Amino acid sequence: MNGLKEFGDFEIITWELKMPSNCIHKRILRIFEFKFAIFKIKKIIKLHQPDMIIAERTTSYGFLAGLSGVKPVAIAQQGKTDLWPKKSILLPLKKVIQHYAFKKADLIHAWGPVMTISMIEAKVDMSKVLVLPKGIDLVQFANKNNADPEKICAIVTRSLLPEYRHDIILKSFGILNQKGIDFVLTIIGDGTQLSKLKELAKKLKIENKVNFTGRIPNIELPKLLQQSNFYISMPITEGVSASLFEAMACNCYPVVTDIIGNQSWIKHRENGQLIPVDDYEMLADELIWSYNNSDHRNNAVLKNRKFVEENANYNTNMKIIADKYHLLINTTSTN
């Protein structure tokens, strides 16, 4: 929203569902809220008469945007696919909802190539798809790395949720500790796994080398990244990770899971490491290899910074997106 205001002079009116979905009871209430949401949205539209409507997630807000009657419609897919979880009993309904959203959209955002795969499978009109990450602030996330070169200074910036596999990361550092390799591991964020992860760190006898920061203001993140020489992320699924771009911008060497979402940006032992899902032994081995090969890491982080500057610059990409929105509005108003 800030990018659209800054680079497109947009005035933005927001609306979102109020009920969280962090338990079954609240999830049911959220479904009922979603069912009647279109009436609230149309009331807001009648009051403000917006020039266009923008929605994130094709299986929820994107569907509501399609129902709103406002043109043009821009929607964004949030992950490799919004049809998640795969075993959800609502999956058939989500497919129908997503198909409607894709059909009604005038512009569909894919923040990276990995998102286009499911769109092609869903027979989306790819002429409507803009493949471009939102980008990151390269001034805020500057390449001023000052990590201690004498040890592994690793950082994890993903939410403490099961799908991000922080336990695998801790187990790999347990191996490093057993081998007498010095390190400090900073884990940023909060989530349902926090207490379990703290217990695991104690069990592995590495609690004195692991720093759980909890939630931090976003303004503090660049400094912590710049104090780290390794960025680690082990999710089982990935769309386009802004966290990865932030780490690459700050000259952190990326070690991430070998899944499609990461393969778009990282090539194994070229500009980072790709680790099979849940393979904490290989993670430990590759951390040791990359730490011992400092020349390789130094060359890789320079390449990564250049890549982010050329492909994920917030100032450049948000200007492209804002201009595209203005073009859609002008085209719609003349038709």
> What pLDDT is recorded for position 138?
96
318 token code pair: 């948000």
Specify the CATH superfamily of domain 152-311. Answer: Glycogen Phosphorylase B; (3.40.50.2000)
- Encoded amino acid at 269, one letter: R
pTM: 0.89
* Residues whose CB is less than 8 angstroms from the CB of residue 238 and which lie 6 or more positions away in sequence, other chains included: 79, 80, 114, 256, 257, 259, 260, 261, 262
CB 65 within 8 A of CB 73: yes
Q: How many CB atoms lie within 10 A of CB 138?
A: 20
Q: What angle do CA 252, 254, 256 make, to 5 degrees?
A: 150
> What pLDDT is recorded for position 26?
81
SS3 category, 306: helix
CB 134 within 8 A of CB 54: no
CB 172 within 8 A of CB 185: no
Query: Phi then psi for 154, rounded to 5 degrees?
Result: -105, 150
- What single-letter DSSP state applies at residue 252? P
> What pLDDT is recorded for position 158?
96
DSSP lists the bridge partners of residue 152 as: 183
> What pLDDT is recorded for position 106?
97
Q: Quote the CA–CA distance of 315 and 329 in Å, as a whole number.
A: 21
CB 159 within 8 A of CB 272: no
- Encoded amino acid at 116, one letter: T
Question: In the chain, which segments carry CATH 3.40.50.2000?
Answer: 2-135+313-334, 152-311
211 token code pair: 């720093």
Q: Which helix (H) or strand (E) holds 73?
A: strand 73-76
For each successive 10 residues of the chain (335 residues), what is the average pLDDT? 95 93 80 92 96 96 97 93 84 94 97 93 96 95 93 97 97 98 97 96 97 94 97 93 96 97 95 98 98 96 97 97 97 82
Helix (H), strand (E) counts: the chain: 14, 10
> What pLDDT is recorded for position 87?
81
CB 132 within 8 A of CB 3: no
CATH number corresponding to 2-135+313-334:
3.40.50.2000
CB 322 within 8 A of CB 3: yes
Q: Quote the CA–CA distance of 169 and 281 in Å, as a whole number.
A: 10
> What pLDDT is recorded for position 16?
94
Q: Quote the CA–CA distance of 184 and 166 in Å, as a whole number.
A: 15
User: What beta strand segments (E) does 164-271 contain?
Assistant: 183-188, 210-214, 230-233, 253-257
> What pLDDT is recorded for position 80?
86
